């Protein structure tokens, strides 16, 4: 370890173009001490490590010359064993970004980055859920919106999904059911809870929520119940009929259901219907779904055109021409061009 520390200090010093004497003067030690560090005879005192890190603009790990595999192991163990803090999150993100800068396809680093963000998000989701519940209790009608209910749903991870299961959905139902039934005009909230009930196969519990929904949205859930009851033909017919409703959300939801049922042409039809109903600033959910679906089907030209649509809409409707939201479709276009 002594040799590795010394080699790291020597490399950092020469990269900074300073002499042993200059480094020694900054740290208030003799230049002989610096020389002994670099040759592995001794190591710096512990109290000097933060000063060295600040001076060279690196982390203490860099002083110890920890390699990428050691960093990854340390980060993953930290996530598994300790609650993530702002400091450990900042360290892990910086270390992983450095690894990915030299190898953007490093699986271990990409996977670790995903878990780092998940752990950090979970920490804050508990806080978010508490505030959302307090907001709902303070104003169950949310001033005529469903903003706090939406926040709670996201914080609990209770978002509905076709045939999904979630303990977060049970928590959401337990807390929000009385507010939804006391406020039938809150159609969005009633719709969310109805969908959760159907996800959980509790159709009887879904009925009072469905009675308060918009007709097109209720129609989608009727199709879900028909499918769960084994009547696929009826379910497909119900979902296709939503195209006549002119409802963006219903058409998109029908597209998602057809996609999950491997009814791809029907899914494409409903996704396009949903996008065509949008007005500026246009929602791109259906276009993203189309891009993924076309790619999965090997229809690369059509997938490419969806990513191009996303870039065009981001520019025209959101005045966004750079950043991560644009780099992503550009990367996908590059990959698709290589496949063609």
> Which CATH number goes with the domain that contains 16?
1.10.260.40
Looking at the structure, do residues 51 and 93 belong to the same domain, yes or no? no
CA 99 to chain centre: 21
Taken as a whole, the chain contains a residue count of: 340
Classify residue 18: in a domain, yes or no. Answer: yes
CA distances from 49 to 7, 54, 62, 159, 232 (A): 15, 9, 10, 46, 67
Provide the number of structural domains found in the chain: 2
pLDDT of residue 102: 86
* Residue 178 belongs to a domain: no
Using N-to-C axis directions, what is the helix angle for 2-16 and 49-56, rounded to 10°?
30
For residues 336 and 186, give the distance between their C-alpha atoms in angstroms, rounded to a whole number. Answer: 43
Write out the chain's pLDDT in tens, 340 residues: 445 778 888 888 888 899 999 999 999 999 899 998 888 888 787 778 778 888 888 777 677 766 778 778 878 887 777 778 787 788 788 888 988 998 888 999 999 999 888 888 888 888 899 999 999 999 999 988 899 999 999 888 887 654 445 788 999 999 999 999 999 999 999 999 999 999 888 999 999 999 999 999 999 999 999 998 999 999 999 999 999 999 999 999 999 999 999 999 999 999 999 999 999 999 999 999 999 999 999 999 999 999 999 999 999 999 999 988 899 999 999 999 998 7
Q: Is residue 288 part of a domain?
A: no
Angstrom distance (rounded) from CA 188 to CA 177 = 13
User: Which pLDDT score is estimated for 48?
Assistant: 82
Please tell me the predicted confidence (pLDDT) of residue 175. Answer: 96
Q: For residue 153, is it within any domain? A: no
Burial 180-196 (b: 16+ CB within 10 A, else e): bbebeebbbbbbbbbbb
Measured distance between the N- and C-terminal CA atoms of the chain, rounded to whole angstroms: 50
148 Cβ partners below 8 Å, 6+ apart? 132, 135, 136, 139, 142
62 with 91, same domain?
Answer: no
- pLDDT for 163: 42
Among the candidates 35, 66, 97, a domain finishes at 66
- Residue 338 domain-assigned (yes or no): no
- pTM of this structure: 0.59
Range(s) of the domain holding residue 32: 1-66
Query: Is 49 inside any structural domain?
Result: yes
pLDDT of residue 161: 57
> Is residue 279 in a domain?
no
Q: Is residue 306 part of a domain?
A: no
Neighbouring residues of 224: CB distance < 8 A, sequence distance ≥ 6: 162, 195, 198, 235, 257
């Amino acid at each position: 370890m002594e040799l590795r520390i010394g080699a790291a200090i020597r490399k950092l010093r020469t990269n900074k173009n300073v002499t042993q004497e200059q480094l020694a003067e900054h740290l208030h030690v003799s230049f002989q001490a610096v020389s002994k560090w670099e040759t592995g005879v001794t190591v710096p005192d512990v109290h000097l490590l933060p000063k060295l890190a600040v001076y060279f603009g690196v982390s203490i790990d860099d002083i110890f010359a920890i390699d990428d595999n050691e960093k990854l192991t340390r980060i993953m163990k930290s996530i598994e064993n300790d609650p993530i803090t702002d400091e450990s999150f900042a360290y892990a993100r910086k270390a992983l970004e450095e690894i990915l800068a030299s190898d953007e396809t490093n699986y271990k680093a990409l996977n670790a980055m995903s878990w780092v963000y998940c752990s950090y998000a979970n920490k804050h989701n508990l806080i978010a859920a508490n505030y959302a519940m307090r907001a709902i209790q303070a104003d169950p009608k949310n001033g005529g919106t469903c903003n706090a209910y939406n926040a709670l749903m996201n914080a609990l991870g209770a978002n509905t999904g076709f045939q999904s299961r979630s303990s977060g959905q049970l928590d959401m139902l337990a807390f929000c059911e009385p507010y939804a039934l006391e406020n039938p005009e809150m159609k969005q909230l009633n719709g969310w809870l109805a969908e959760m009930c159907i996800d959980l196969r509790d159709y009887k519990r879904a009925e009072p929520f469905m009675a308060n929904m918009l007709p097109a949205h209720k129609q989608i859930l009727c199709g879900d119940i028909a499918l769960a009851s084994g009547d696929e033909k009826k379910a497909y017919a119900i979902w296709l009929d939503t195209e006549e409703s002119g409802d963006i959300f219903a058409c998109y939801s029908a597209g998602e259901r057809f996609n999950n049922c491997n009814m791809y042409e029907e899914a494409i039809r409903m996704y396009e219907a949903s996008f065509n109903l949008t007005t500026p600033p246009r929602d791109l959910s259906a276009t993203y779904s189309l891009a993924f679906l076309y790619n999965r089907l090997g229809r690369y030209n059509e997938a490419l055109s969806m990513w191009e649509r996303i870039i065009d809409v981001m520019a025209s409707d959101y005045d966004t021409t750079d950043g991560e939201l644009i780099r992503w479709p550009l990367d996908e276009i590059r990959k698709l061009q290589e496949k063609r």
